Structure 1
Amino acid sequence: MVKEIMRDVLFLGQKAEAATKEDISIAEDLLDTLRFHREHCVGMAANMIGERKAIIAIAEGNRFTAMLNPEAVKKSPKTYKATEGCLSIPGEREVERHDWIEVKYRDMAWRKEKRKFTGFEAEIVQHELEHLEGKLI
């Protein structure tokens, strides 16, 4: 189900709680909402739809991936500056991002996964992981 976008910075600034297997429906709503906003959004965290759970979703071309309890396990030592926007907050800001990031998480079937993201997908994942920490760009 497509959900309203949360814009309350006090709510968005709170750290996410661990997701459970019962929270897969939240991940489904997050994917639906990301698909709905696809023309101007490439990633979302659950707090952006009013849920304080550690769940993110990203668009990789025409493929949409949800990650429950994602955690960065490795990051490239090399970083770069990027300018990013966010669906929940107006405007764009400069941020520093790693060239690549390796993440462990649970998939929609609650299986353990580990993936390395590079390029633009790595930037998206890093942005969404910051949402889970309550950090806003």
Structure 2
Amino acid sequence: MQREIMTSIPFLSQPSAEALNTPEDLAVAQDLKDTLDAHRNGCVGMAANMIGVSKSIIAFVDEDFGGRIFVMFNPTITAKDGAYDASEGCLSLKGERRTVRFQRIEVSYADRKFRERHATFTGFTAQIIQHEIDHCEGIII
């Protein structure tokens, strides 16, 4: 189900709790996908706190896989290299902000079946994931 976009800075500034393998957290992931899909014309990634749920769940569009929406539970960046300056917008915030991102990242996360995964991402997909993990950590750029 599509949800409203959260814009409360105090809420978005709070670190998210760990996601669990529960029906409730799986439903949040589906709502996150549905909400991202509804905003695809201007959004390529979302974190659960952007739909009002303080859980460490992200969804993002991966153009390298035909525009498929991927979901990660409890993502953590384990390695990064190739720092560069970026300017990013966000559905939860007005305008764009400058930040430092990395060209290549490695991420540990749980998939929809809560199997532990580790993957490498580069380019724009890596940038999206970094932005969404920042949301999970309560970092607002």
Q: TM-score, normalised by structure 1?
A: 0.97
Instruction: Tell me how far apart the structure 2 counterparts of residues 87 and 99 of structure 1 sit (CA, whole Å).
Output: 23
Q: Unpaired segments of 5 or more residues in structure 1?
A: none
Matches of 2:28 and 2:2, distance apart in 1: 11
Displacement of 1:24 after TM fit? 1.2
1:111: Cα distance to partner? Answer: 1.2
What stretches of structure 1 move > 3 A for 4+ residues in a row?
A: none
Q: CA RMSD in A?
A: 0.7
- The aligned counterpart of 2:16 is 16
Matches within 5 A, 1:89-104: 89-104=93-108
Is 1:80 aligned to 2:74, yes or no? no
Which whole-Å CA distance do the structure 2 matches of 1:47 and 1:12 have between them? 6
Amino acid in the other structure paired with 1:40: G
Identity of aligned residues (%): 49
Please give the alpha-carbon distance, in whole angstroms, between the structure 2 residues aligned to 1:91 and 1:55. 24
Matches within 5 A, 1:1-137: 1-22=1-22, 23-61=25-63, 62-76=67-81, 78-137=82-141
Work out the CA distance in 1 between the residues paired with 2:95 and 2:59.
Answer: 21
| Number of positions where the alignment pairs a residue of Structure 1 with one of Structure 2 | 136
If the length of structure 2 is used for normalisation, what is the TM-score? Answer: 0.94
- State how far apart, in whole Å, the 1-side matches of 2:105 and 2:90 are: 20
What do residues 9-58 of structure 1 show as CA deviations (whole Å, max 9, x unaligned)?
Answer: 00000000000011111111101110110010000000000000000000
Q: Give how far 1:109 is off.
A: 1.4
CA distance in 2, matches of 1:132, 1:17: 8
Matches of 1:21 and 1:39, distance apart in 2: 31
Q: Secondary structure at the match of 1:84?
A: strand
- Find the aligned partners of 1:41 and 1:51 in 2 and give their Cα distance: 18
Q: CA deviation at 1:110?
A: 1.2
